[in-house]
Amino acid sequence: MFDLNLQNALKKDRDKLVSSQDLKAIVQRIFDHKEASKARIKSKLDNQNNSYVNSLTFDDLDIDKIFHIDSIEKLCIKYRLRFLDTHLFKGDYPNELYSIIPELEATHETKLDNFKIMAPSKLFRLKTKEDPLLFVPIGNGYYYLVHKWGNDLKTYRKLLVWPFKNINTLIFTSILLSLASTALGSVLFNKLSDTQLFVIFVFNIKTFVFITFYLLFMMRKNFNESIWDSKYKN
């Protein structure tokens, strides 16, 4: 008898302010606005970039999200990532991105454009969930981080892709593998002389260098320093 249904109380008070028909029209406009905003942002992400530089309000910038192209390049080469226009991105965008961008635009009283994304190469061909970062240019080689989503890259990725950083790292890796295989041979065949081990070592270097370069050629791969900002597949 004395129970209070809060939902009914709210509805009763609401009906005094606006009719159900008017409320439905208001809600419809809200949803239409959100869909139009999402479509506009999706169109920006899918369009090819031009020379436009975003004008953001200095006092509203998060300094921790401002990065120079040199730092971006260094990280891409270190972890074998690419930094390309979003129209080349083939992954999925998270739903929260379509709220984050309008909020950022409202804060800076502008419309963001020329989005770029940092992600592993395969994200520009296949769908996966590895750590993309979305940027917009703000001038003088600086980029502002709009949003990061997905799972973090594994720290050991740096070691896995280090041999492919450039030709020097690939040769150095081949020498290390040659040393390791020669050392293993000396343990297994302890009767080998120093001269024989040296010959094996030189032969191993040639073998590993040939194999790695042959595989790169056959797989049509290139070094990290060459692909980080390349829009081409290999």
Phi, psi (deg, nearest 5) at residue 140: 55, 35
Report the SS3 class of residue 119: strand
Q: What is the pLDDT of residues 184-202, one digit of tens each?
A: 777 777 777 777 777 777 7
The overall pTM is greater than 0.95: no
Q: Given strand 66-68, what is the order of strands in its sheet? A: 66-68, 142-148, 133-139, 116-120, 81-85
Q: What is the pLDDT along the chain (234 residues), one digit of tens a residue?
A: 566 677 777 877 777 777 777 777 777 777 777 888 888 999 999 888 888 899 999 899 999 999 999 999 999 988 888 899 998 888 888 889 999 999 999 999 999 999 999 988 888 764 455 568 888 899 888 898 999 887 766 777 777 778 778 878 888 888 888 888 777 777 777 777 777 777 777 777 777 777 777 766 655 677 777 777 676 555
Residue whose structure tokens are 């892709």? 161
Q: Which pair of structure tokens corresponds to residue 17? A: 């302010």
Q: Which residue has the tokens 């994200």?
A: 123
DSSP E strands, 59-218: 66-68, 81-85, 116-120, 133-139, 142-148
Cα 95 to Cα 153: distance, rounded to the nearest angstrom: 21
Domain ranges for the chain, please list them. 1-153, 157-227
The string of pLDDT tens digits covering residues 30-48 is 777 788 888 899 999 988 8
